[in-house]
Structure 1
Amino acid sequence: MTTNTLTAAPVTDAAALTGKRRIAFASYVDENYLPGFLTLLRSLALSNPSVCEDFVVLYDDLRPGSIARIRALHPRIVLKRVNDTHYDAYKKGDQDNYLVRKAYFILDVFRIREYDTVITLDTDMVVLGDLRELLELREGLAAVPQFFYGQHKLNSGLLVIQREYLSDAFCAKLDKCGRSGDYELDKHDQGILNAVLDGDFVRLDPRFNFVKRRLSGDLPVPDDTAILHFTGRHKPWQGGEAGYSQAEDKWREYELSDAAFQAAYLESGGGLHHDLVVHFGIPHVQRTGDVEVARKVAAAHIANGDYQDAVDILSGVRIPLDEAWPHEVLGHALMSVSRYEEAKAQLLLATAAPNRAATAYARLAQMAWVQGDHTEALRYATAGITVDPTHRPSRLWAQRAAAVPSQERGSAEDQLAHVAFYMDRQGNAGDKLLPETVRLAFGPDTTSRRWHSVHAHRLFDEAALERVNARRGLVIGGGGLFIPDTMPNGNSAWQWNVPDALLNRIDVPIAVFAVGFNAFDGQSYRANRFRESLLHLVERSAFFGLRNHGSIEKVRAMLPAHLHDKVRFQPCPTTVMRQLVAGWQDPAERDDTILINAAYDRAGLRFGHDYAYFLAQMAQAVRDLGKFGEVKCVAHSLDDEKIAFDLRREHGISMPVIPMYDFENDEIRDLYARTKLVIGMRGHAGMIPFGVGTPIISLISHPKMAYFLRDIERPEWGVSVHDRHLAARLVERAKDLLADHAKTVADVHGRQQELWKVTEANAADLRVILGS
């Protein structure tokens, strides 16, 4: 086996690579305050139905039954037992009062190291409004100033703590203060924090910690109150206190049984978080058989890539014949696990309702195309257009079904079969260019004289097997084919729709070439089906090359040790484009432009709670980058134009849009070769310009971007979309790269040469394997 030239960089946790903020809520909970905490959890879900972050429960004496009640109200509870004896050394106003002793336990939150932002909530609080502003905070330690003591002191009932305070150094300051007693002893944890901070905290609006005492005399709770805090000795679950009935009525709105709470959440409007829908919906459906809730749960499962779970929840209820939407969702789920005949029956039922018919027909068209029936696919797609002439998916499937397949001109024994994702017109520009570029790595002829195309998303059946076995070899790749939710299927659980039995009957050499493990940070392969299919593929392959070392480590972790050495490094051929295109000439001159690309697929996984921040930073960056050249938006897909629309609407910035999704392959290469700098979020918005010799800066929202930059030993060419100083860093790095542009281009060429050495070495092995 040939050794690779570039050294594998150590693989880091995905969050560390993308810079995505990890956010958690936290509370100290004991048996006395358990009723308050349960109400707090209900109010958080009902007031912020789209929010579902980890909730850290600090505890010392909770019983198993109490923990079960807590878990029933939140799917992401993280239990952490406090180090209670640690605070025995603190000087206190009343050393023997157990409530005083427990008041310090919340300070254990500063010993948490797994998160970038932690929001603490006292258990005598109820959430009444939107907390988005707190989730977007990125600097300092934030709190509401005390009601009675002015702006210098904070109320510690709500804290928004950033990572710099979740540190050993800050904990040492707290310990020193607590042990010295140099603080207001009767204020406990709050006294220590105020003594240590001495007024140095970010002031929040009082509506985020609106203390009950503001409502003395039974005043109404202001409409804009986000969090109501029942400070004082008398708690609502203990009978309350005279003079605060309107406040306590607000608290009691959330004092619900589990069944009533689940129903209330599931009846909320749009924007429900899929984890909460699943967590509350499953017991609700089991208890009631509610078809509409089962549909919501199934849709949430599908959004999360849990297709079999979606099938199971809807198969467990009786769906009336005239309930089109549940039939459509069940059909979608069944199609996604390759139960095609059952899916067809469900989708046909869904076509009876005008408001669901177009979507159902488009799915029927898709399924017919997957199974190789173009005539039926076109019939269904046409029916979808007839129902709704504006229905884009139906139009896309009609175009795909009506496309005339290219006539193969070579003899089978001279051809290689090529499994790839063949992109349609107006599809992702990177995916459009990729199959041709893979073929260039095997020789200059990329036409059907030498290649037999096998679309990865088509069902690989007996006829396809026969055609492949008639060729002299099979190449699979490139691109991020190892991803679970792009054209999902139940045969492999990755993009190639191949059953194990047929994979095992391929009798020509198999080369997996420059494939990537493309899971996002926060996305996972939950089914064993992918692991089993992957194992068969590696065992059957004569060559198994992945496009970055991050993917190599991820895949090796799923394989037995004896197969690890079969997995080798093969860079994406787009990164060595200059070496592959016959007669390539570097541009004599470049346009005075800087191209920016942003991606919006799976936006929640890319941006988390930081999209508004990202957009504001990009607005500043575009303004400042204009000093170095004309800044344009380059759209690999239609959705990529969103950044231009949002910048104009939110920040008044106009940026020309280049519709690269309409470009031919030569146009894509030419545009990227002629610009001075590309700032891209898509993988191929970095790899393609790099491959044609253009400097790049990657906007990192996916681990694969960081994997590539580590492989070329230039991690400084990447900036996380979550970076606290995103605009400044982008502009600074752009300035550095453009200052001596010729030198930077030479550096790109040098880095590319290292990848080319690996590709050439692998090519020598492949010539032996494939007999070319």
Structure 2
Amino acid sequence: MSAQTTPTGATPPGKRRIAFASYVDEAYLPGFLALLRSLALSNPRLCLDFVVLYDDLGPASVSAIRRLHPRIVPRRVDPGAYDDYVKGDEGNYLVRKAYFILDVFRITDYDTVIALDTDMVVLGDLDELLGLRDGFGAVEQFFRNGAGNRLNSGLLVVNREYLTGEFAARIDEVGRSGRYELDKHDQGVLNAVLDGDFVRIDPRFNFVKRRLEGDLPVPDDVAVLHFTGRHKPWNGGEVGYGRAEEVWRRYDLSGREFLDAFFALPGAKNPELVAHYGARLVEGFGADRRTLLAVGTALHSTGRYAEAVDVLERARDTEGATDPQFHLAMGRALMAVSRYDEAEAHLLLATRDHAAAAAPFGLLAECAWIRGDARGSVAHARAGLDADPTDRKSGLLLRRARAELEAPAFTGDPAEQLAHVAFYMDDQGNAGDKVLPESVRLSFDADPGPRRWHSVHTHRLFDESALREVNARRGLVIGGGGLFIPDTSPNGNSCWQWNVPDEVMERIEVPVAVFAVGYNVFEGQSYAQRRFTESLRLLVAKSAFFGLRNHGSIERVRDLLPADLADRVVYQPCPTTVARKLVAGWQEPEERAETVLVNCAYDRAGLRFGHDYGHFLSEMAHAVTALGERAEVRYAAHISTDEKFVFDLRREHGVSLPVEPMYDMSNAEVWDTYKRTRLVIGMRGHAGMIPFGCGTPIISLISHPKLAYFLNDIERPEWGVSVHDPRLGAVLTERAEDVLDNHRAALDDVAERQQKLWAVTRDNLAGLRGPLGLTV
């Protein structure tokens, strides 16, 4: 991909950041609290930042607001910024404060801000507003609208192009000039600035009370009801709008009434909301077993494992003691904090529900395997399959534990082996994670097999037995891959993927090399910071070499270390990126097929796509259709769940793609498939790094920071397109066509960048020859 023919640019943006915003003061606080309650009760699956603009709220008011939403972002308004505005009736209460909502346009750290007046209640689904990605959205003014070029400022959907200093300056200029409807305050300013240039939103999203004059009922399809005028429901209301005010009073609830109403809602709820409200309910009022179970499950799903255990402990009443669902949740939570004996006891009790016994038996099989009991794992997995022959976890653990029991014992000299802590993927698992351990081993030794390597699965408890085995080898390699992530297989010992207690790690006697590990946290994820940091610092101190696979990870990890340890963290590219330098007898393809391979990922889909999945799918349909006129577009599924893209694309847009099931391929077949295509468009990290390592041009669909980190390291950020890019389809098509039009230049560019990664790898390995006794 030549620098001359491909547009350059900064790292593609991450997930589109969306927030609600309101200006709140003491007089309008009751309305705002009702607005927050209504938002939670009408959109219980939605949890976004809520920016509270304020100038005079007291501590008690701020606390009341925080109790109603877990993601409140308070921002103080500078009233002096509006002192120079020309205003109307100075006796009007709103003549000054009404302008403070214009601080929305001074918010620069979100891509979309949905501004709401505090005299509103939310009655319906707001997904349509979240899907408005471009422009300035508002409902037309109801009265005195002439040519229809005026908006009502009660609800605004403001996108990035208006969240700039330039637009805020235009607002200030009009406000100070007085060239607007003075009696309309902020609304008058915006109408003067925009002059009708805004996206029209359906009136049901800002349904003003005046439409209901004569005590008309609120229509069923109203999504946001707006109590315009001087007389607010919390101040006695207004004659002629009784039925509308009855709707407002549904949300004028006490703390207990609101919490009970929220937990009584049917269907799925956002786990962050459940955890936040559940904590209030449990601590303030007490909760029944069903609610405690929901709160504990929500805490677990958000990575707050110790808190989940604490909440579930409260459900140990007479009824809870015999409830299999309680025991299943408790067993899962205890496993996540490495309290395995207690976890097994609860999971065994959960198997008493024969109709749902497969899940606890699967977890029992996993728990036994983690603790090194392969025979116990087989027994539990068989029981799980007896309960449900289709149970995936039981089937996986049965194959894994059987393979371990049937593997021939090692009869060689342990001192001739290196131990290797890695995530060893099971059959039909993620193709990238299958290729990775072999690639790491080839960096150190031409023989990646069991004669030269002792395998240590990163998710297995590193106990005294494992320590003895490692100390009998000549060294320990840890990596690669994104092992610094808290949730794939949570444990309480390290709070990252290697399940190692500090006291055992301290007694490792052989040289340790951390090789090409990544800090894989998604935007919005976090660690149990203290425990992870303590484990990380001990690991760095123990290591003869500590290499991370991208500079983004290096920066994040160094921030957690004292200066004397931070300097030990160095760059080591993922060995998959230099595969053709490592694999013996590598053969370059005589020619490449006229194909383009596409890959998408669906693990943690909410963190990847946010509220933009529909946009992503539509834009990809455009790109796939356009590229299909140039080459055969095929789908590279690294794991079976990746195939969701193919199903959704066909169902929603009528576009079909043939599938390459890479999860069924050997490592050699994965390399061969990637080296014979002309271009790979991939969302998974290894759907970029592996084809790059085969010499194939790539374009990354960025839904995780690690893809941008890699592209920055090779100084080609333009090889990435964010899944949130408003013009994703057009940009992707343009860049892919450039690769196909200039393919020789693209191949040469990949080779040149790969050579630089290989030079770094060779230098690092040279430094490890002594400590690890390397021969390569």
TM-score with structure 1 setting the length: 0.97
Aligned to 1:3: none
- Amino acid across the alignment from 1:640: D
Question: Within 2, Cα distance between the matches of 1:65 and 1:704?
Answer: 42
Aligned to 1:540: 542
Q: Is the 8 A contact 2:12 2:717 kept in 1?
A: no
Q: Is the 8 A contact 1:409 1:449 kept in 2?
A: no
Aligned to 1:74: 69
Question: Within 1, Cα distance between the matches of 2:122 and 2:287?
Answer: 30
Check if 1:417 corresponds to 2:419: yes
- Amino acid across the alignment from 2:386: T
- The 5-angstrom pairing of residues 127-276 of structure 1 reads 127-148=122-143, 149=145, 151-276=148-273
Question: Within 2, Cα distance between the matches of 1:552 and 1:145?
Answer: 50
Mean Cα deviation higher: 567-576 or 96-105 = 96-105
Aligned to 2:738: 736
Count matched residues: 759
Mean Cα deviation higher: 64-73 or 312-321 = 312-321
Q: Is the 8 A contact 1:660 1:668 kept in 2?
A: yes
Counterpart pick for 1:54 among 49, 58, 80:
49
> How far off its partner does 1:62 sit?
1.2
* 4+ long deviations beyond 6 Å: none
- Amino acid across the alignment from 1:126: V
Secondary structure in structure 2 of the residue aligned to 1:89 = coil
1:23-63 Cα offsets, whole Å, 9 max, x none, are 11111111111111110000000000111111111111112
Aligned to 2:323: 323
- Amino acid across the alignment from 1:628: R
> How far off its partner does 1:501 sit?
1.0
> How far off its partner does 1:97 sit?
3.1
Counterpart pick for 2:580 among 575, 578, 581:
578
Counterpart pick for 1:97 among 84, 92, 95:
92
1:334-386 Cα offsets, whole Å, 9 max, x none, are 11111000111111111112343211111110000111111111111111111
Question: Within 2, Cα distance between the matches of 1:268 and 1:765?
Answer: 61
Q: Is the 8 A contact 1:409 1:448 kept in 2?
A: no
Question: Within 1, Cα distance between the matches of 2:433 and 2:668?
Answer: 14
- The 5-angstrom pairing of residues 111-510 of structure 1 reads 111-148=106-143, 149=145, 151-286=148-283, 287-319=285-317, 320-403=320-403, 404-408=406-410, 410-510=412-512
Question: Within 2, Cα distance between the matches of 1:17 and 1:210?
Answer: 37
> How far off its partner does 1:686 sit?
0.2
1:287-344 Cα offsets, whole Å, 9 max, x none, are 2242211111111111111111111111133242221112111110111111000111
Question: Within 2, Cα distance between the matches of 1:453 and 1:390?
Answer: 29
- Amino acid across the alignment from 1:464: A
Check if 1:664 corresponds to 2:662: no
Secondary structure in structure 2 of the residue aligned to 1:525 = coil
Q: Is the 8 A contact 1:325 1:356 kept in 2?
A: no
- The 5-angstrom pairing of residues 17-36 of structure 1 reads 18-36=13-31
Question: Within 1, Cα distance between the matches of 2:247 and 2:492?
Answer: 48
- Amino acid across the alignment from 2:390: T
> How far off its partner does 1:110 sit?
0.8
Check if 1:698 corresponds to 2:700: yes
1:262-300 Cα offsets, whole Å, 9 max, x none, are 111122222211111011001212322422111111111
Aligned to 2:3: none
Aligned to 1:517: 519
Secondary structure in structure 1 of the residue aligned to 2:331 = helix
1:566-617 Cα offsets, whole Å, 9 max, x none, are 1111110000001001111110111111000000000010000000100000
- Identity fraction in percent: 64
1:512-563 Cα offsets, whole Å, 9 max, x none, are 1111111011111133111111111000000111111111111111110001
Aligned to 1:595: 597
> How far off its partner does 1:416 sit?
0.5
Question: Within 2, Cα distance between the matches of 1:227 and 1:309?
Answer: 35
Question: Within 2, Cα distance between the matches of 1:307 and 1:651?
Answer: 40
- The 5-angstrom pairing of residues 557-636 of structure 1 reads 557-636=559-638
Q: Is the 8 A contact 2:293 2:315 kept in 1?
A: no
Decide whether aligned partners of structure 1 residues 540 and 17 sit closer, same or farther in structure 2, where only a CA change above 3 A counts.
farther
Q: Is the 8 A contact 2:599 2:637 kept in 1?
A: yes
Structure 2 runs not aligned, ≥5 long:
1-8
> How far off its partner does 1:17 sit?
5.1
Question: Within 2, Cα distance between the matches of 1:179 and 1:355?
Answer: 71
Question: Within 2, Cα distance between the matches of 1:717 and 1:347?
Answer: 47
Question: Within 2, Cα distance between the matches of 1:756 and 1:725?
Answer: 35
Q: Is the 8 A contact 1:18 1:703 kept in 2?
A: no
1:464-486 Cα offsets, whole Å, 9 max, x none, are 11111111111111111111101
Q: Is the 8 A contact 1:56 1:80 kept in 2?
A: yes
Secondary structure in structure 1 of the residue aligned to 2:515 = strand
Question: Within 1, Cα distance between the matches of 2:746 and 2:160?
Answer: 35
Mean Cα deviation higher: 72-81 or 384-393 = 384-393
Mean Cα deviation higher: 605-614 or 294-303 = 294-303
Question: Within 1, Cα distance between the matches of 2:52 and 2:678?
Answer: 51
Question: Within 2, Cα distance between the matches of 1:22 and 1:203?
Answer: 22
Question: Within 2, Cα distance between the matches of 1:632 and 1:290?
Answer: 52
Question: Within 2, Cα distance between the matches of 1:761 and 1:464?
Answer: 31
Question: Within 1, Cα distance between the matches of 2:287 and 2:348?
Answer: 23
- Amino acid across the alignment from 2:44: P
Question: Within 1, Cα distance between the matches of 2:613 and 2:725?
Answer: 12
Secondary structure in structure 2 of the residue aligned to 1:545 = strand
1:201-254 Cα offsets, whole Å, 9 max, x none, are 000000000111111111111111100111111111111112212211111111
Aligned to 1:763: 765
Aligned to 2:640: 638
Aligned to 1:649: 651
Question: Within 1, Cα distance between the matches of 2:749 and 2:12?
Answer: 23
> How far off its partner does 1:134 sit?
0.6
Question: Within 1, Cα distance between the matches of 2:622 and 2:327?
Answer: 47
